[in-house]
Chain A
Amino acid sequence: MSLLQDLIDINLSDSTEKIIAEYIWIGGSGMDLRSKARTLSKVESDPQKLPKWNYDGSSTDQAPGDDSEVILYPQAVFKDPFRRGNNILVMCDAYTPGGVPIPTNKRFNAATIFSHPEVATEEPWYGIEQEYTLLQKDLHWPLGWPVGGFPGPQGPYYCGIGADKAFGRQIVDSHYKACLYAGINISGINGEVMPGQWEFQVGPAVGISAGDELWVARYILERITELAGVVLSFDPKPIPGDWNGAGAHTNYSTKSMRNEGGIDVIKKAIEKLGLRHKEHISAYGEGNDRRLTGRHETADINTFSWGVANRGASIRVGRDTEQAGKGYFEDRRPASNMDPYVVTSMIAETTLLWKP
């Protein structure tokens, strides 16, 4: 074993009480993740007890050079699957020194919505299905695809196995275990319809934690693709033509939907979503118009529709929900590059707080 590997794997708990905390935040594009590490004097898992920190916002397009400090508020803590031991990952959001959330901080508004009593009592649950594409590093062409050409058409790849059908499983499988280790509520994975595309699901998570968990899961995924020498893409339509896009279907339920008579609550909620279709679409991810064409298991971006077991609709209600008379529904509109803070809070806002 190389000396480098030995050093990376040193178990610090044998020699010191100190731990390493990796502070993670979202950068200026709203999609780029950033992180840096600091030493803490002892084990701590309560985000409220962790120190605030700051970073150079002028290097992430979030502050001007002459007033560059952006403050990091720790919001959620997870175990670090790369450093292990007692080391942690800390999901943060960003504020001005005066305590005001900066414009790209979408968590603050979401947290406000989720603490609203009418929302909190309904205990909104989210299950988010994050799709993503793996690209060869220097070419930005999907992993496993021949350079200068295309693989055979879609059909054999969905949940497929074999060297000619599944590309990059090592990344997906190590991500699964790393998330379980970290304490993220990862509920499953599968190979997707387009070769080189995969999906993982996080949930059920309550309220604001859905966003925290999904962002940290994305962080862990990109750290893993970094190790693997492969590029991660959350573009909603990475390859134009007869190839599926990538989405982030968001499954949602409230206490009333999960109890007797829930199916009627679900139908009312879907109606309200239908009345705010344009507002939701504009917040569901950049470039979604390339993906929501009405083909490749999507609904057209300009039309709102819903159906039971219908993968061509904007909202899909599962057969088991229909049969049981209660359950949840799936909003299939969000793109893979959506911000989960925005999508989860907007669904809660429209269905629980908004009056048409």
Chain B
Amino acid sequence: MWGSLLMNNQRLRTKSSAKFRVFAIKSENSTVSRLDDLLNLDVTPYTDKIIAEYIWIGGTGIDLRSKSRTISKPVKHPLELPKWNYDGSSTGQAPGEDSEVILYPQAIFKDPFRGGNNILVICDSYTPSGEPIPTNKRHRAAQIFSNKKVIDEVPWYGIEQEYTLLQTNVKWPLGWPVGGYPGPQGPYYCSAGADKSFGRDISDAHYKACLYAGINISGTNGEVMPGQWEFQVGPSVGIEAGDDVWCARYILERITEQAGVVLSLDPKPIEGDWNGAGCHTNYSTKSMREEGGFEVIKKAILNLSLRHKDHISAYGEGNERRLTGKHETADINTFSWGVANRGCSIRVGRETEKQGKGYLEDRRPASNMDPYVVTSLLAETTLLWEPTLEAEALAAQKLALQV
């Protein structure tokens, strides 16, 4: 009873922090908002020109940057767009006396913020002489995905991006009382209600914006920790998975910017008995999806078990705070797999087991993983890499014991 009184008081506060202030701007001078008119202006009757927002990944590997330029007329393919450049010394990617980093357009999406024929362009970064800069992970992924063996297997990815929303000035999760905690986990997963679901407008706006943009967003849900959400992108083939997820992340942060809320992709935002945030990656190849696929899946899991440390080191910074063996994760040092088992490194769905074909879910990647790295590493380990016969036999024994 006492608890519900507290909830009542907090309900008012959580309501106000869950409400969205359109950032910056209420004017006392003008009594009407003409800014919205200008933002939503459809310029297509007045000019052929379009605005292209070039997006790239900055020096930390997780910070997204963008700037826009005018293009003389609508385009359909990234190759029609000019290369561009940016000041790498301002993003930790180049020294001041040789600061130009070149942007190569790689994927186009419709711009849900500007509408019309305006576009978002996912790019990767190169030196002026055409070398991918060290933080450019797409280049290597694209090479792996153009390997004939990989192309023939048509690798599909479904990526489940979890994220946490934080209040702006205090960096405490949205809906949480400042200086305290909400009730323990239990009621929040997929819930509704002002005391259980914080920030649905952001998740919903993001869903439609991504559909509009042409991103293959397949679903959303509220997560176990209050203030945490998830969206899924896929199935995407090969390199597109990375482009789709990065563009979806960009759209999400633009939306949280408008809402006055901070986006966090930290894998364990709150220490203690609170879930972390992951980026489970579902994966299948042509062989896995056809008759006898389950055996192919088991072989793939075998390969993955032998490269566990390599994968873990590429699956996101700070993942050791999240992969504890509790809160629906597997311990970071142990590789395991199981059917319908959320406490394993790899989970195979009951449906896949029943049908003898399907896909696997790698539950290890953290929410701040780079999808170019994770998707290409999965393809590389399962399609291009071969263990020694000895190692393979040992691993098969080990894993069979664990199942």
Chain A interface residues toward B at CB < 8 A: 2, 4-5, 8, 79, 81-82, 143, 146, 155-156, 158-171, 173-178, 180-181, 186-191, 193, 224, 226-230, 297, 307, 309-312, 318-320, 323
Contact (A81, B256) CB under 8 Å given A180-B47, A188-B70: no
Q: Find out whether the CB atom of B68 lies under 8 angstroms from the CB atom of A188.
A: yes
Q: Which of A163, A187, A307 contacts B97 (CB 8 A)?
A: A307
Residues in A with CB closer than 8 Å to B99 are: 309-311
Interface residues on B, range: 35 or more
Closest to A172 in B: B68
Q: Find out whether the CB atom of A158 lies under 8 angstroms from the CB atom of B69.
A: no
Closest to B91 in A: A158
Closest to A319 in B: B128
Residues in A with CB closer than 8 Å to B27 are: 226-229
- Least CB distance from B21 to A in Å reads 10
Q: Which of B28, B63, B64, B100 contacts A318 (CB 8 A)?
A: B100
Give B16-51 as 1s and 0s: 1 = Cβ < 8 Å from A's Cβ atoms: 000000111111111111110011010100110101
- Least CB distance from A248 to B in Å reads 16
Residues in A with CB closer than 8 Å to B256 are: 162-163
Cβ of B354 under 8 Å from chain A: no
Cβ of B379 under 8 Å from chain A: no
Q: Which of A82, A155, A166 contacts B257 (CB 8 A)?
A: A166
A selection of 19 A-B contacts at a CB cut-off of 8 Å is: A4-B32, A8-B32, A143-B24, A156-B63, A162-B256, A163-B259, A176-B51, A177-B41, A181-B47, A188-B68, A189-B67, A224-B35, A229-B25, A229-B30, A230-B24, A297-B89, A309-B97, A311-B97, A319-B100
Q: How far is the CA of A237 from the CA of B338 in the complex (A)?
A: 61
Contact (A160, B25) CB under 8 Å given A188-B70, A226-B30, A297-B89: no
Q: Which of B26, B100, B259 contacts A309 (CB 8 A)?
A: B100
Residues in B with CB closer than 8 Å to A143 are: 24
Question: Which 8 pairs of residues, A with B, have the shortest CB-CB distance?
Answer: A229-B27, A190-B67, A174-B38, A159-B65, A188-B69, A158-B90, A319-B128, A228-B25
- Least CB distance from A84 to B in Å reads 9
Residues in B with CB closer than 8 Å to A319 are: 85, 100, 128
Q: Which of B25, B41, B87 contacts A181 (CB 8 A)?
A: B41
Q: Find out whether the CB atom of B253 lies under 8 angstroms from the CB atom of A161.
A: yes
Q: How far is the CA of A167 from the CA of B68 in the complex (A)?
A: 16
- Least CB distance from B288 to A in Å reads 37
Residues in A with CB closer than 8 Å to B98 are: 309-310
Q: Find out whether the CB atom of A161 lies under 8 angstroms from the CB atom of B47.
A: no
Residues in A with CB closer than 8 Å to B34 are: 8, 82, 227
Q: Find out whether the CB atom of A188 lies under 8 angstroms from the CB atom of B67.
A: yes
Closest to B250 in A: A161
Cβ of B114 under 8 Å from chain A: yes
Cβ of B96 under 8 Å from chain A: yes
Q: Find out whether the CB atom of B257 lies under 8 angstroms from the CB atom of A169.
A: yes
Residues in B with CB closer than 8 Å to A171 are: 24-25, 35
B22, B31, B34, B47 pick with most chain A CB within 10 angstroms: B34
- Least CB distance from B115 to A in Å reads 10
Residues in B with CB closer than 8 Å to A165 are: 257
Q: Find out whether the CB atom of B32 lies under 8 angstroms from the CB atom of A163.
A: no
Cβ of B66 under 8 Å from chain A: yes
A163, A181, A309 pick with most chain B CB within 10 angstroms: A163
Give B107-124 as 1s and 0s: 1 = Cβ < 8 Å from A's Cβ atoms: 000000110000000000
Task: A188-B68, A310-B99 are known; give 16 further A-B pairs, CB within 8 A.
Answer: A8-B32, A159-B86, A161-B65, A161-B66, A162-B257, A163-B168, A164-B262, A166-B257, A174-B38, A176-B68, A180-B47, A189-B67, A193-B90, A229-B29, A230-B24, A297-B87
Residues in B with CB closer than 8 Å to A318 are: 85, 100
Q: Find out whether the CB atom of A161 lies under 8 angstroms from the CB atom of B32.
A: no
Q: Find out whether the CB atom of A311 lies under 8 angstroms from the CB atom of B262.
A: no
Cβ of B92 under 8 Å from chain A: yes
Q: Find out whether the CB atom of A180 lies under 8 angstroms from the CB atom of B49.
A: yes
Residues in B with CB closer than 8 Å to A170 are: 22-25, 35, 39
- Secondary structure type dominating chain A contacts: mixed
Cβ of B261 under 8 Å from chain A: yes
Residues in B with CB closer than 8 Å to A189 are: 67-68
Q: How far is the CA of A125 from the CA of B314 in the complex (A)?
A: 48
Residues in B with CB closer than 8 Å to A177 are: 38-39, 41, 43, 51, 114
A81, A175, A307 pick with most chain B CB within 10 angstroms: A81
Cβ of B377 under 8 Å from chain A: no
Q: Find out whether the CB atom of A162 lies under 8 angstroms from the CB atom of B43.
A: no
Residues in A with CB closer than 8 Å to B32 are: 2, 4-5, 8
Contact (A311, B89) CB under 8 Å given A228-B27, A229-B29, A319-B100: yes
Closest to B21 in A: A163
Residues in A with CB closer than 8 Å to B49 are: 180
Q: Find out whether the CB atom of A297 lies under 8 angstroms from the CB atom of B96.
A: yes
Residues in A with CB closer than 8 Å to B200 are: none
Cβ of B222 under 8 Å from chain A: no
Closest to B256 in A: A163
Closest to A134 in B: B24
Residues in B with CB closer than 8 Å to A167 are: 23-24
Q: How far is the CA of A161 from the CA of B263 in the complex (A)?
A: 10
Cβ of B175 under 8 Å from chain A: no
Cβ of B371 under 8 Å from chain A: no
Q: Find out whether the CB atom of B29 lies under 8 angstroms from the CB atom of A226.
A: yes
Cβ of B260 under 8 Å from chain A: yes
Q: Which of B30, B168, B254 contacts A227 (CB 8 A)?
A: B30
Residues in B with CB closer than 8 Å to A175 are: 38
Q: How far is the CA of A224 from the CA of B90 in the complex (A)?
A: 28
Q: Which of A180, A307, A323 contacts B43 (CB 8 A)?
A: A180
Closest to A199 in B: B67
Q: How far is the CA of A196 from the CA of B214 in the complex (A)?
A: 31
Q: How far is the CA of A155 from the CA of B23 in the complex (A)?
A: 22
Closest to A161 in B: B253
Q: How far is the CA of A229 from the CA of B32 in the complex (A)?
A: 12
Q: Find out whether the CB atom of B39 lies under 8 angstroms from the CB atom of A158.
A: no
- Least CB distance from A318 to B in Å reads 7
Q: How far is the CA of A307 from the CA of B95 in the complex (A)?
A: 14
Q: How far is the CA of A166 from the CA of B66 in the complex (A)?
A: 11
Residues in B with CB closer than 8 Å to A79 are: 46
- Least CB distance from B347 to A in Å reads 32
Residues in B with CB closer than 8 Å to A191 are: 67
Q: Find out whether the CB atom of B87 lies under 8 angstroms from the CB atom of A311.
A: yes
